[in-house]
A and B are shown apart, each in its own frame.
Chain A
Amino acid sequence: MTTLDSSKEIQKNKSEVGEHHEDFRMFGLVTFLIADGMTFAGFFAAYLTYKAVNPLPEGAIYELELPIPTLNTILLLVSSATFHKAGKALLKDKNSDSQRWLILTAFLGIIFLICQLFEYFHLPFGLTDNLFASTFYALTGFHGLHVTLGTLMILIISWQTRLNKGRITSKNMFPLEAVELYWHFVDGIWVILFIILYLL
Chain B
Amino acid sequence: MTISIDRQNENNKSLQPNGWLRYFSFSLDHKVIGIQYLVCGFLFYLIGGTLASAIRIELASPMSDFLPRDVYNQFLTLHGTIMIFLWIVPVVNGAFGNYLIPFYVGARDMAFPRLNAVAFWLIPPSGLMLIASYFVEGAAQSGWTAYPPLSITTPQSGQIIWIISVLLLGGSSIFGGINFIATIIKLRRPGLKLMQLPMYCWAMLGTSLLVVLSTPVLAGTLILLSFDIVAHTGFFNPVLGGNVVVYQHLFWFYSHPAVYIMVLPAFGLVSEILPVHSRKPLFGYTTMVFSIMGIVVLGLVVWAHHMFTSGTPPWMRLFFTIATSFIAVPTGIKFFNWVATLWGGKISVNSAMLFSCGFIINFVFGGITGVALAQVPFDIHVHDTYFVVAHFHYIVYGGTVFIIFSSIYHWFPKVTGKMLGEKLGILHFAITFIGFNLCFAPQHWLGLNGMPRRVAEYDPQFEFVNQISSIGALLMAISTIPFLVNIFLSVRNGKDSGDNPWNALTPEWLTSSPPPVENWEGDAPLVEEPYGYGDPFFDENKKI
Question: A residues within 8 Å of B by Cβ?
Answer: 2-4, 6-7, 9-11, 13-18, 20-21, 23-25, 27-28, 31-32, 34-43, 45-46, 49-50, 53-54, 56-57, 127-128, 130-131, 134-135, 138, 142
Q: In this complex, which of A25, A28, A42, A131 has the most chain B Cβ atoms within 10 angstroms of its Cβ?
A: A42
Question: Could you give 20 example pairs across A and B, Cβ below 8 Å?
Answer: A3-B22, A6-B15, A7-B29, A10-B15, A16-B11, A17-B108, A21-B1, A31-B212, A35-B212, A36-B216, A38-B214, A39-B217, A39-B220, A41-B217, A45-B249, A49-B249, A54-B241, A128-B231, A131-B235, A138-B227
Chain B residues within an 8 Å CB radius of A16: 4, 7-8, 11
A46 touches B241 (CB 8 A): no
Interface readout for B201-214 with A: 1 if CB under 8 Å, 0 if not? 00000000000111
Chain A residues within an 8 Å CB radius of B234: 128, 130-131, 134
> CA A3 – CA B224 in complex, angstroms?
46
B309 at the binding interface (Cβ < 8 Å): no
A27 touches B15 (CB 8 A): no
A18 touches B113 (CB 8 A): yes
Name the one of B4, B178, B240, B243 contacting A35, with C-beta atoms under 8 angstroms.
B178
Whose C-beta in chain B lies nearest to the C-beta of A55? B241
B15 touches A9 (CB 8 A): yes
Q: In the complex, how many angstroms separate the beta carbon of A20 from the nearest chain B beta carbon?
A: 4
A39 touches B216 (CB 8 A): yes
B310 at the binding interface (Cβ < 8 Å): no
> CA A114 – CA B187 in complex, angstroms?
43
Q: In the complex, how many angstroms separate the beta carbon of B479 from the nearest chain A beta carbon?
A: 35
Q: Which secondary structure dominates where chain A touches chain B? A: helix
B465 at the binding interface (Cβ < 8 Å): no
> CA A4 – CA B12 in complex, angstroms?
15
Question: B residues within 8 Å of A by Cβ?
Answer: 1, 3-5, 7-8, 11-12, 15-16, 18-19, 21-22, 25, 27-29, 108-109, 111-115, 174, 177-179, 181-182, 185-187, 212-217, 219-221, 223-224, 227, 231-235, 240-243, 246, 249-250, 253, 517
B22 touches A39 (CB 8 A): no
A4 touches B243 (CB 8 A): no
B178 touches A28 (CB 8 A): yes
Chain B residues within an 8 Å CB radius of A35: 174, 177-178, 212-213, 215-216
Name the one of B21, B115, B182 contacting A4, with C-beta atoms under 8 angstroms.
B21
Chain B residues within an 8 Å CB radius of A3: 18-19, 21-22
Q: Which secondary structure dominates where chain B touches chain A? A: helix
Known: A13-B11, A35-B216, A128-B232. A27 touches B18 (CB 8 A): no
B217 touches A11 (CB 8 A): no
Name the one of B1, B108, B181 contacting A31, with C-beta atoms under 8 angstroms.
B181
> CA A32 – CA B21 in complex, angstroms?
32
> CA A21 – CA B182 in complex, angstroms?
11
Chain A residues within an 8 Å CB radius of B28: 10-11, 14-15
B224 touches A46 (CB 8 A): yes
A138 touches B216 (CB 8 A): no
Chain B residues within an 8 Å CB radius of A40: 220
B114 touches A7 (CB 8 A): no
Name the one of A7, A50, A53, A130 contacting B25, with C-beta atoms under 8 angstroms.
A7
Name the one of B29, B221, B235, B241 contacting A10, with C-beta atoms under 8 angstroms.
B29
B217 touches A38 (CB 8 A): yes
Name the one of A28, A45, A49, A138 contacting B111, with C-beta atoms under 8 angstroms.
A28
B235 touches A134 (CB 8 A): yes
Whose C-beta in chain A lies nearest to the C-beta of B109? A14
> CA A25 – CA B178 in complex, angstroms?
10
Chain A residues within an 8 Å CB radius of B182: 24, 27-28, 31
> CA A16 – CA B212 in complex, angstroms?
27
B8 touches A42 (CB 8 A): no
A57 touches B243 (CB 8 A): no
Q: In the complex, how many angstroms separate the beta carbon of A18 from the nearest chain B beta carbon?
A: 7
> CA A195 – CA B335 in complex, angstroms?
47
B187 touches A43 (CB 8 A): no
Chain A residues within an 8 Å CB radius of B15: 6, 9-10
Q: In the complex, how many angstroms separate the beta carbon of A102 from the nearest chain B beta carbon?
A: 26
> CA A24 – CA B180 in complex, angstroms?
12
> CA A53 – CA B523 in complex, angstroms?
60
Chain A residues within an 8 Å CB radius of B174: 32, 35
Q: In the complex, how many angstroms separate the beta carbon of A26 from the nearest chain B beta carbon?
A: 10
Given contacts A7-B18, A38-B213, A39-B220, 13 further A-B pairs with CB under 8 A are A3-B22, A7-B27, A17-B5, A21-B111, A24-B111, A24-B187, A28-B182, A38-B216, A42-B217, A42-B220, A46-B250, A131-B242, A138-B224
Chain B residues within an 8 Å CB radius of A39: 216-217, 219-220
> CA A4 – CA B227 in complex, angstroms?
44
Q: In the complex, how many angstroms separate the beta carbon of A162 from the nearest chain B beta carbon?
A: 26
> CA A16 – CA B11 in complex, angstroms?
11
Whose C-beta in chain B lies nearest to the C-beta of A11? B28
> CA A56 – CA B223 in complex, angstroms?
22
Chain B residues within an 8 Å CB radius of A50: 243, 246
> CA A24 – CA B242 in complex, angstroms?
42
> CA A27 – CA B188 in complex, angstroms?
14
Q: Which 4 A-B pairs have the closest CB atoms?
A: A42-B217, A3-B18, A24-B186, A39-B216
Name the one of B108, B241, B253 contacting A56, with C-beta atoms under 8 angstroms.
B241
Chain B residues within an 8 Å CB radius of A28: 111-112, 115, 178-179, 182
Name the one of B4, B27, B235, B253 contacting A20, with C-beta atoms under 8 angstroms.
B4
Name the one of B178, B185, B242, B250 contacting A32, with C-beta atoms under 8 angstroms.
B178
Whose C-beta in chain B lies nearest to the C-beta of A40? B220
Chain B residues within an 8 Å CB radius of A7: 18, 22, 25, 27, 29
